[in-house]
Structure 1
Amino acid sequence: MSFDRGASSGRGPLHGVRVVELAGLAPAPFGCMILADLGADVVLVDRPGGTGPAGPLQRGRRLVTLDLKSDEGRAGLLGLIAKADVLVEGYRPGVAERLGFGPAECEKINLRLVYARMTGWGQDGPLARAAGHDIDYIAISGALEPLGRPGERPHAPINLLGDFAGGGMLLAVGILSALLERAGSGRGQVVDAAMVDGSSLLMTFLHGFLADGRWPGGRGRNVLDGGAPFYDTYEASDGGYLAVGSLEPQFYAALLKGLELDAEADLPGQFDVKGWPELRRRFTERFRTRTRDEWAAIFAPLDACVSPVLSLTEAPAHPHNRARNAFVEVDGVTQPAPAPRFARTPPGIPAPLRSATVPEILTSWT
């Protein structure tokens, strides 16, 4: 697979960037996967027996096994850090310092090092050393409360908002920003990436709505949270689902045409909130008259913003995803391809996790 639109190296735009990743859970590995996908040379450092089966989040790395509680293990790590551009750690605040490779120690051997820290609560604050998971971070940031149906409890959207979007993705953005700044200053810095901060940042759009009076509140009662019948999901006759996002008038008109409701004069207006229950009833009844794929075929030529809801196994086979090579196979596992795409320096297909030694890494980094 190639994303080439012209002459390319095939090595990705981050080729030449050296990253040391201390093994951790989902957020930091996802951020480092992004860096590896884009061409960075990422070395994953794990304790003996600590990795288990390699998965998609570990793709594109070389694996070095070190006991960081031993003098020999710490010496090996510090040797890598001395030649690295980036160090990524996801320990609780103070753990890296206690083990002997905190920011102050690393700065002494590599003034240019970007020291990236991935935590749930951040490096300071009352909760900094508390335990937590994605659902806790998005609860405190305000990202969880709006999610769900009216009268029901908030519904966690898997662990996407905290771990990945607000965590690993913002970690990668922070690292890239620090590398860009270093090009001018010549110095690295500490990046404090916290999932509570990142998931809060994701809610900026809704804070704007709230300030403008366009988010009256009440879970599942607003335009973008399933409250509007023209921005929701509907069940088809075969148990499949359709996603409807017909916000603008022209898309809404196409929705009514596809549903054959455009000629019904007694249909409530699109933004007649009092009429939304009736609209939803009619949409629900109509969608249940055909299968998901039959509706997908009906709406294919219409610009109505109506799409079939695909499963994880169905998505790679969708014609659009296939045309864009949006999925690749790595070590026998089908998974999303690197993103975004680059015209001159596209990344190649990620390699599976592979073992190496500290001397091998250092030799390749000379």
Structure 2
Amino acid sequence: MRTGVATLDDARAIEAADPGGMLRLVASTGSQLGRGHALGTAIQGVPDADTDAVVVLGMGGSGIAGDVIRALYADVVAVPIVTSKGYAIPAFCGPRTLVLSASFSGETEETLAATRGAAALGCRVISLSAGGALAKLAAEEGRPHVAIPADAVVPRAALGYLVGACIGVLEAAGTIPAAGEEVAQAATFAAWFAAGLAPERPMEDNQAKTAASWIHGRTPVIWGSEGLAEAAALRWKAQLNENAKVPAFHATLSELDHNDVEGWSDGSGAGFVAIVLRHADEHPRIAARVGITRALVGAAGLEVNEVRASGASKLQRLLSLVLLGDFASVYLAILRGVDPTPVPVLSELKERLRT
């Protein structure tokens, strides 16, 4: 039986329980963001006119970058932003479609297949990876490629690089306005916010440790209000899966009020906890929905807590929600006595697919 640390207020024990340095990697998100943006804006050969759609390809920890980009810009740019997670490229894509193909390893088979499909349709493809077959394919076909630094180690720890690079590419393509100042401010904010969640910060003053302790021993359900928190809820769910090695689920308000809420009845909430991610940019009706939904699921025994984003911009607010979930997932892993960095089940799945 696994035994985790006795307390999350023992910084040395936390360090020993995190040999892969996942907490350090999570804390570097802000610096990654700035470096990634610089790499994206510096890329040569980016088409800068007549884009009719943006499609972001990617799976898992790389693909979440597309969800973040869509959350940030879908309601402010004049063309649709679509995330595509799978082997196929949407049929509407064509010569005026800007395709960002993201795979940290450069070896994700679904993303490689979709990238080839996009090229076959004549799309404007720009790839982002730390090497691998995706970088090789870009070189062979003469397409722009953003070389993501490999020091992030694993895809889910490279979110800052990937998001920053995507913002930079979209800026270079003229799809979004100049974002350098906003990114720089967000990078500074992220570093400050991460410091408040660090191992040295005691439990009573550390929201991530508190969240991990509250979740521990139960199955988390993450609800995000539409927009920024929708992407953040997906990130929380994935980080809890990969870092803490626990089942976790996510849904979006108000969509969950049309289906999920009906499932919480007759004591079905036992053994589950829900965290609602909120932000200042959400629709005014969400506040009413959250209160009513909490009352209804509470009657089913589901415990619910709310988390509110902080920050002066949309990017800062999204980063605050993401970082809180990232840190909480690692602290939950440490409480459970598991190393947050390796992903043995995912590794076995990939190995079986190869044989």
TM-score by length of structure 1 reads 0.28
- Structure with greater proportional helix content: 2
Bigger radius of gyration: 1
TM-score by length of structure 2 reads 0.29
